[in-house]
Structure 1
């Protein structure tokens, strides 16, 4: 829940003002989210712009609370620079969708200016120049809003007018005019709010999709809410109910999303640790893969958003650029059904230990949860994935015995929300792949679950790992650096060479028969290893087929499945 704003001196631009702005924006977006969702027609009519803005604001508010817990309840203190940077960072790491990603960059632009001005003075015991109120803060705030709009435009590969970018630009220009007229921070905030409202009203005439639907831009509507919260935080006056709350333009029903049916099929979002030069090359690669490209951030951490038909290629582009994580792949078929108030009948949620596997399962239509080494997802993250699948029936593939409890807890909560959930006890990603291969969304739920469970259960799984230290195993004592060959979770072979150990594991796994071998290669394993193992299987087992996939970053050196 958002924090209750505390009374403060009007026109102060300090850490408390940031906290109050954050709390008010979150509360207002929470009230308006459903109405904003209902008028969402651009760039994709997926009825989630209000929700994405709210979740982004929630992450920003949480980032501020976690960085400076005392600031959120009035018992502690932080400088303006510290508070605004923590707030912007929280938005960056939790940005959702196209609109949320742009909002995160707007907050970063604000932080860039306010943070530069206040510096580290809060740590030295001196008050920030911006905390005294008056005309100086008005000029400072105007500059911050201008920088925010400039950075947001720069973050979007192909800016389109009639969107929240237009609203941000108009607000900045109005704020600049007020600041130039020696206005205070309250004056600038009110001018920006009024400028945003006026620009929002003009968006149907700027963007044909909005004009046809008879609505204003959903992202811009959310941004008006944020500017209204800024004015309220500084002035203590609550904005008028329209357009901050409710629909800015009455819409009898959510608009039909048919106009976007021929667009890219997937939305891909991930955080990326990379250099600015690498991100420049990434922008070019992703721009050639799809549309709605927005890359925000800086200082080595970026949030990447793009709509594509090939989600695997979008993720691989991130791997080339740096270290992507928190990967989210959403199929727009599900989102468009939600826009029409429909749920898919059935969906699959798969937990996978590798970015390549996430892309592979995403292409198969599954909602994925990426596992990084040492960072198992909690039940709340699995529940979020079940909700994102937006289906009446969900098959959950946990992919590891250590995730069964979290999967069971997520399933129980989802069932309480009216979703029918079945957890298939997959213990490896290769069992999940086998289950996905026989998934039949058109058949009955029970029959589908039985078939997927049988396919997973009939798949023996192996894994090759490197020992980190000397230890006792079921195959004897291993030393640090030894290659361990595991079969069904137990160490069966200890070797010194990856390929030779894999061959020994394959011999044991195929000793009891098999028709198909699945190899999932880790990021550092060369293709030559797969070629040698494929030839090894073909030579010793003529009737056995072999398929090979790239697991991508975070996957084990080698996963083996035998069906």
Structure 2
């Protein structure tokens, strides 16, 4: 059983082990930035926890649950960097799982590790596989799979699984594979778990009162542990008096100000906040709006010049959110920043991309009617963080390209947005798709496998399946012919991932015969949801 004395030995052992491994962990710190301070940050965080535990009155740390709570709060208060925040959340989760227990058995330890892993994962706005989180999750899963209830068996399973997960991290992150190292934060997590096993196995340790270091003038400059080099400062503070909803709003707003955002709590009203940003005042102000911030620390990154960088590095940027690598290449060639939307893309991913432009004014072009809501949500969050963001509705990727084609930085921002909006609206749109299920339409019954022609979002023709090259070509030519009947000089076509190989040539031959006055431009779009997207202007 783990009692309060064992928890104190665990804290001291972790400090000693992290101190011994600090330099080795720092040397392999290559992801996401090779700044070499993960070991130092984890050591400083655990030292702060041990300091709190040693200074707490005996009555407040008499049981294992109480001791873990004091240790977790101390670590949270002194957390350094993202790796330190994750370590504090591991300890907080362990404390929450056994809060009222005077002693902890194998089942309790398994539950504690599971809760700690969950809270660590929840602390980051953008968790990544192949990191410290992966190692903690593997350890917790293995511990939960031990059914003997034996404390030693659980600790052994956790250590073995964590070491195995650590060895696989280079296969999960290309940066680690290229450098030939494992993840630094993951290695620190294994050191902590090995310290736990050492205490459980009752191996001799040397207890010493290691006190957390005080803040010095040198600490006003810090190494960059992670994140974009566009942000010059690390801001950290504690907040009292915030609830869960307030913490979520705080995390959302900070995500619009910078990156490496974490808002982690101790479960009892205290939260630690961490962000890399340029606007220090805004990062602190949102904390004031959320609760009562204190112990505010600001450090300039060591790789930044002494003079503070401006919050925005450029005046304007255009961001395109759409499907298909071909569309992305076309948009990038026009100078846009692109989010390739897949099943995992969400408003947070688009928000991070908007922030990464470093632009004061951002125009977002959602290349599809169903992407407008995602763009609107990301824009609202970015505006709350201080950026001027405007969404130009584009119901089709061809409309997004039309808007991008008239983007002109020589105009005022407002005139440029108006010009892009007018260009998108002037582009008439059509689509050719393959029906995936039976349905009814304005022009008749649709069977799965039929080829459908759309203009401006409405079904205008049905070409009976199967959707072979001939059926798709007939539908494409018919849609283009219908659209040109209302006038037009330029037909733009984006070929989808499922477009037949000879479709572009067939369209060109058709227009040469039937509509020689119209010019055709065909591009590989790669969009998975349509066979081709058509624009006429």
TM bin (shorter chain): 0.5 to 0.7
Q: Report if the CA contact (8 A) 1:475-1:491 is conserved.
A: yes
Matched residues in 2 for 1:542 and 1:469: separation?
A: 37
Say whether the 8 Å CA contact 2:433–2:451 is kept in structure 1: yes
Match of 1:204 in 2: none
The answer to whether the 8 Å contact 2:223/2:302 transfers is no
2:150 is equivalent to residue 129 of structure 1: yes
Q: 2:413: which partner in 1?
A: 445
Q: Give the conservation status (yes or no) of the 8 Å contact 1:164–1:219.
A: no
CA contact (8 A) 2:495 2:527 kept: no
Q: For the Cα contact (< 8 Å) 1:358–1:370, is it kept in 2?
A: yes
Unaligned runs of 5+ in 2: 11-30, 36-40, 42-78, 101-106, 214-219, 228-233, 235-264, 267-294, 465-470
CA RMSD of aligned residues (A): 5.7
For 1:422 and 1:495, the matched residues in 2 are separated by 39
Q: Which residue does 2:367 correspond to in 1?
A: 399
3-state SS, counterpart of residue 460 of structure 2: strand
In structure 2, which of residues 370, 391, 400 is the aligned counterpart of residue 432 of structure 1? 400
Equivalent residue for 1:255, pick from 304, 327, 343: 304
Distance 1:185 1:108 in 2: 28
Q: 1:171 to 1:247 in 2, by over 3 A?
A: farther
2:135 corresponds to which residue? 109
Quote the residue 1:511 is aligned against: 485
2:435 matches 1:461: no
**Distance in 2 (alpha carbons) for counterparts of 1:506 and 1:254:** 55
Summarize the alignment of residues 238-317 of structure 1 with structure 2, pairs less than 5 Å apart.
Answer: 251=300, 255=304
Matched, 1:218 2:225: yes
Partner of 1:276: none
| Alignment partner of 1:525 is 2:499 | yes
Instruction: Map Cα deviations across residues 200-248 of structure 1 (whole Å, 9 max, x no partner).
Output: xxxxxxxxxxxxx98546159x9xxxxxxxxx99xxxxxxxxxxx9989
Among 124, 142, 167, which residue is 1:150 paired with?
A: 167
> Retained in 2: the 8 A contact 1:139–1:180?
no
Contact 1:515 1:562 in 2 (8 A): yes
CA shift at 1:432, angstroms?
Answer: 0.5
- CA displacement 1:232-277 (0-9 Å, x = unmatched): 99xxxxxxxxxxx9989x75875259xxxxxxxxxxxxxxxxxxxx
1:346 aligns to 2:326 (yes or no): no
Cα separation, 1, equivalents of 2:196 and 2:481? 77
Deviation at 1:534, TM superposition (A): 3.1
C-alpha distance in 2 between matches for 1:52 and 1:362: 33
Question: Do the aligned residues in 1 keep the contact of 2:366 with 2:372 (CA within 8 Å)?
Answer: yes
Counterpart residue number, 1:419: 387
- Post-superposition CA distance 1:89-132 (Å, at most 9, x none): 99599884xxx636x433323433443353174xxxxx7434xx
Contact persistence 1:84–1:115 (CA under 8 A): yes
Partner of 1:500: 474
1:548 and 1:247, CA in 2 relative to 1: closer, same or farther beyond 3 A? Answer: farther
Q: Is the 8 A contact 1:106 1:151 kept in 2?
A: no
Q: How does 1:137-176 map to 2 (within 5 A)?
A: 139-140=156-157, 142-157=159-174, 159=176, 165=183, 169=187, 172=190, 176=194
For the 8 Å contact 2:223–2:303, the answer to whether it is kept is: no
**Preserved CA contact (<8 Å) 2:170 2:182:** no
For residue 474 of structure 1, report the CA deviation from its aligned partner.
2.9
Query: Closer, same or farther in 2 for the Cα pair 1:154/1:369, shift >3 Å?
Result: closer
Distance 1:73 1:532 in 2: 72
Structure 2 contact 312–360 (Cα < 8 Å) conserved: no
Distance 1:511 1:524, change over 3 A: same
SS in 2 for 1:108: helix
Which one has the largest radius of gyration?
2
Following the alignment from structure 1 to structure 2, what is the Cα–Cα distance between the partners of residues 481 and 359?
Answer: 30
Give 1:119's aligned residue.
145
Unaligned residue ranges in structure 1 (runs of 5+):
1-7, 18-39, 122-126, 198-212, 223-231, 234-244, 258-337
1:364 positional shift: 4.0
Q: Secondary structure at the match of 1:421?
A: strand
Distance 1:137 1:254, change over 3 A: same
Once the two structures are superposed, the pairs formed by residues 382-393 of structure 1 within 5 Å of their partners are: 383-393=351-361
| TM-score between the two structures when normalised by the length of structure 2 | 0.55
Q: Distance in 2 between matches of 1:549 and 1:351?
A: 18
Aligned pair count? 385
Contact 2:367/2:395 (<8 A) preserved: yes
Where 2:142 maps in the other structure, the secondary structure is helix
Kept after mapping to 1: 8 A contact 2:132/2:183: no
1:162, distance to aligned residue in structure 2 (A): 12
Aligned residue in 2 for 1:80: 110
Q: Retained in 2: the 8 A contact 1:138–1:184?
A: no
Shift of 1:548: 2.9
Name the SS for the 1:465 alignment partner.
Answer: strand
Alignment partners' CA distance in 2, 1:531 and 1:214: 61
CA 1:90–1:478: 2 relative to 1, 3 Å: farther
Indicate conservation of the 8 Å contact 1:485/1:502, yes or no.
yes
